[in-house]
Amino acid sequence: MRALILGGGGMVGQKLARHIAANGLNGEQVDITLHDIAFPSTEITGATQIKGSIADAGTPETLAKTKPDVIFHLASIVSGEAEADFAKGWAINMHPTWALLEALRAEHEADPSYRPRVVFTSSIAVFGGPYPDKISDEFLSAPQTSYGAQKAICEMLISDFSRKGFIDGISIRLPTICVRPGKPNAAASSFFSGIIREPLNGQEAILPVADTTRHWHASPRSATGFLTHAATLDTDRLQNRRALNLPGVSCTVAEQIEALRDLVGNDVVKLIKHQPDPVIQKIVEGWPRNFAPERALALGFKAEGSFKEIIQVYLDDELKRPT
């Protein structure tokens, strides 16, 4: 079985590749190809790396010609960059998906038995307020960022190419993945990981929003689980609604901090400094806070049950430090 991971150099792509290299998919061994503009220095045994941009002319066609059985499409620029550079956002986050789907359709038309599973990482950014208390599976997509609009459009394309039988696609709307290992990044959501990760590493962390801020989280381990489950699921069960809200943990920043205190004590928590940033506060206020992801739960997608479990995943998987 052959898997192609677009955006395979990123944090989630790398974890997914390692998981599949070690465990296969559905009990089958997997030949893995990673595509991205950059990769970490340590290569993954059993995975081939291809360096380039998905937006390069001819790239989607060349990749489609290798006829992967499963394509994990994680490639995109982040929300902040897509908002700052409008043209680049659409050029990276939307048009290459169209080109890829058209290239896969051409492969399908040349060989009708070829109908790859395409797993697209969408985002809760497809939603825009005002929100109900819990976002149901039937709530509209009214994105309030270009990134969200690009994700929502890719979902629509994947659904329609699937409905016609050219591919067998599924779009999964990831919660904010937390606790991200490594360094802070430019994303407005970066602090959600930072206020846990930095204190656990003995460093100060800035909290730029009120601790009453509620948001929707899942761990990197859950992200891998979502992706492999989406790759192996019987898509007939989706009944032509191929974009799914995933399970996660809804909690306030205060609850995040309490969970950290519970696990590792007050000295660590003291390293979190509240320093309000009105710009970040305003962005985060526009984000979804809570979901009732009934369809995904019924389909067997699983996330953590509490933010304490999310921190524990970081301790186990990154710090190798069980409490």
Burial class (CB in 10 A: 0-12, 13-18, 19+), 277: middle
Confirm if 15 and 74 have CB atoms less than 8 A apart: no
- For residue 71, the minimal CB distance to its own copies (Å) is 20
State which residue, 83 or 316, has the beta carbon closest to its own copies: 83
| CA dist., res. 172 & res. 46, Å (int) | 26
Tell me the residue type at 76.
S
Question: If you ran DSSP here, which 8-state letter would residue 21 be given?
Answer: H
- For residue 245, the minimal CB distance to its own copies (Å) is 10
Beta strands 272-274 and 205-207 are parallel
Q: Edge to edge, what strands does the sheet with 117-123 contain?
A: 47-51, 31-36, 2-6, 70-73, 117-123, 168-174, 243-245
Q: Which of 51, 134, 164, 282 binds its own copies (CB under 8 A)?
A: 164
Using CB under 8 A as the binding criterion, the count of chain residues that bind its own copies stands at 24
Catalytic residue among 114, 131, 147, 314: 147
Q: Which of 121, 141, 171, 213 binds its own copies (CB under 8 A)?
A: 141
Q: Does 237 bind its own copies (CB under 8 A)?
A: no
Q: Which of 86, 204, 254, 262 binds its own copies (CB under 8 A)?
A: 86
Q: Per-residue x/- mask for its own copies, residues 108 to 137, rule CB under 8 A? A: --------------------x---x----x
Stretch that binds its own copies, among 30-38, 154-162, 195-203, 206-214 (CB under 8 A): 154-162
Q: Which of 24, 46, 80, 143 binds its own copies (CB under 8 A)?
A: 143
Token readout for 4 is 């192609």
Q: Does 97 bind its own copies (CB under 8 A)?
A: no
131 included as an active-site residue: no
Using CB under 8 A as the binding rule, the residues of this chain from 239 to 298 that contact its own copies are 240-241, 243
* SS3 sequence of 204-259: CEEECCCCCCEEEEECHHHHHHHHHHHHHCCHHHHCCCCEEECCCEEEEHHHHHHH
| CA dist., res. 71 & res. 231, Å (int) | 8
Positions marked catalytic? 147
Applying CB under 8 A, which residues contact its own copies?
86, 128, 132, 137-144, 146, 149, 152-153, 156-157, 159-160, 163-164, 240-241, 243
